Structure 1
Amino acid sequence: MPVHEGPFAPGTPCWADVMVDDLDRARDFYGGLFEWTFEALPPQAGGYVMARKDGHVVAGALAKNPDDPGQVSAWTVYLATDDVDDAVRRARAAGGVFFLEPTNVLRVGRIAVGADPAGAAYGLWQAKELSGADLVDEPGALCWAESMSRDYDASTRFYSDVVGYRLQEIGEGGVRYSVASLDGLRAVAGIGAIPAQAPAAVPSHWMAHFAVADCDASAERVTTLGGSVVQPPVDTRYGRMALVAGPEGETFSVMQLPEPSTTD
């Protein structure tokens, strides 16, 4: 079981949380889909809850602020940083904006939430008591994250300059997509261009991918629990995956990772 210990390297997607209108409904949906249990933080956290899988912290959830009509039901991916205040300054200098200025979340971490120049929302996470998800690449846990952009060149430039991503273009057949690494070796995230055939209403966004044991069964379970399948399961070089949405339309991906190769 890939339990993640210690801090994540700066730039690594280390956390994801979902904002919704109906938090109880979200707990039922994601608990039924991923077998998550939920733990409420102290009242000072504003109703934020932590999701756990087999006792390990894997994600978060919170209800929208009813006084803020600009909030939408969506998943937010957080990138690890050693200094969130400095990362915010660098992001602003590169054309980014922020909706939530650097702030402490109890003693758990220090965060900020903003958008890159292409308009994709993301978060920054400076670890304190919690470095991020402590279970990864297992069913019910985050296994990949990618920025899908309406301005691919602006996005690749921004994350290279601000986060330090080293990008390798792997797109083919008119698809523009790069895998991002921090050391030129292990990929930690992706940056892609939103396909021309995608509906015009689809904005730039970060997509969270969660591992599942069976992609087809999970996609079917999504609909049973009140969500929807946006793109049905399909095989890719990285595993079998489906784009799905929760009860309030918040999109995410379920991915059945390929079996590890074995040698005699």
Structure 2
Amino acid sequence: MPVHEERFAPGAPCWADVMVDDLDRARDFYGALFGWTFEDPVPEAGGYVMVRKDGHVVAGAMARNPDDPGQVNAWTVYLATDDVDETAARAAAAGGVFFLEPMDVLEVGRIAVGADPAGAAYGLWQSMEHTGTDLVDEPGALCWAESMSRDYEASTRFYADVFGYRLQETGEGGVQYSVARLEGEEPVAGIGAIPAQAAADVRSHWMVYFAVADCDAAADRVTSLGGSVVQPPFDTPHGRLSVVTGAQGETFSVMQLPAAAAEPAG
């Protein structure tokens, strides 16, 4: 079991949380889909809820403020940093904007939330007591994240400048896609161009991927739980994946990693 309790390298996706209208409905949906358990909301943290898988913290959840038109039901990906303020300043200088300026979250960490020049929202996380997800690359845990952009050149330039991503173009057949590396050789994230044929309302965004033991079974379960399948399961060199939405319209992806193929569905 890939337990990850140490700090994530600066620039690596380290956390994801979901904002929804109804936390109880999210608890039912994700509990049945991934086997997640939800802790009680923390009043001093604005009602934020920590989510666990097999005892490990894997994600967060919060209720949307119905009086704030800027909030939508969506997943947010957080990139690790050793200094939120310095990284936010560098991001702003590179053309990014921030909706939530750097601030402390109790004693667990320091946060900022903004968007890159192409409009994809993301968060920054400077860990203190909370380093990020405790479990990776296991069914029900974070296994990949990527920025899908309406301005591919602007996005690749931004993340290379701000986070030091070393980008390798891997797209084929007219597809623009790069994998990002930091100091090591292992890819940490991806940056892709939204295809021209995509619907006009598909905006630049960060996509979060959660591992599953059986992609087809997970996609079927999503629909039975009130969600929908945006892109049916298909094979890639890195695993079988499907793009789905939760019961409240939030988009994410499920991915069957090659090593998970022999495990029971979950």
Place the TM-score, normalised by the shorter chain, in its bin. over 0.9
Residues 1:243 and 2:243 aligned together:
yes
Shift of 1:41: 4.5
Shift of 1:40: 2.5
Shift of 1:197: 1.3
SS in 2 for 1:259: helix
Given residue 242 of structure 2, which amino acid in structure 1 is its aligned partner? A
Task: Quickly say closer, same or farther: Cα 1:31–1:73, change in 2 above 3 A.
Answer: same
In the alignment, which residue of structure 2 is the partner of 1:71?
71
Cα distance in 1 for partners of 2:160, 2:93 equals 13
Structure 1 segments (4+ residues) deviating >6 Å:
none
Shift of 1:259: 2.2
In the alignment, which residue of structure 2 is the partner of 1:110?
110
In the alignment, which residue of structure 1 is the partner of 2:122?
122
In the alignment, which residue of structure 2 is the partner of 1:233?
233
Given residue 187 of structure 1, which amino acid in structure 2 is its aligned partner? P
* 8 Å Cα contact 1:233-1:242 kept in structure 2: yes
SS in 1 for 2:62: strand
Given residue 104 of structure 2, which amino acid in structure 1 is its aligned partner? N
Cα distance in 2 for partners of 1:13, 1:40 equals 25
After TM superposition, list the pairs within 5 Å mapping 1:16-165 onto structure 2. 16-165=16-165
Cα distance in 1 for partners of 2:249, 2:128 equals 32
Cα distance in 1 for partners of 2:43, 2:238 equals 41
Shift of 1:184: 5.4
So what's the TM-score if we normalise by structure 2? Answer: 0.96
Cα distance in 2 for partners of 1:259, 1:24 equals 33
The one-character-per-residue Cα deviations of 1:188-225 (angstroms, maximum 9, x if unpaired) are 00000001111010000000000000000000000111
What is the alpha-carbon root mean square deviation over aligned residues? 1.2
So what's the TM-score if we normalise by structure 1? Answer: 0.97
Which 5+ residue runs of structure 2 have no aligned equivalent? 261-266
Aligned length: 261
User: Identical aligned pairs, as a percentage?
Assistant: 79
SS in 2 for 1:6: coil
Cα distance in 1 for partners of 2:215, 2:48 equals 28
* 8 Å Cα contact 1:166-1:184 kept in structure 2: no
Which 5+ residue runs of structure 1 have no aligned equivalent? none
* 8 Å Cα contact 2:42-2:49 kept in structure 1: no
Shift of 1:247: 1.2
Given residue 239 of structure 1, which amino acid in structure 2 is its aligned partner? G
Cα distance in 1 for partners of 2:27, 2:243 equals 20
In the alignment, which residue of structure 2 is the partner of 1:15?
15
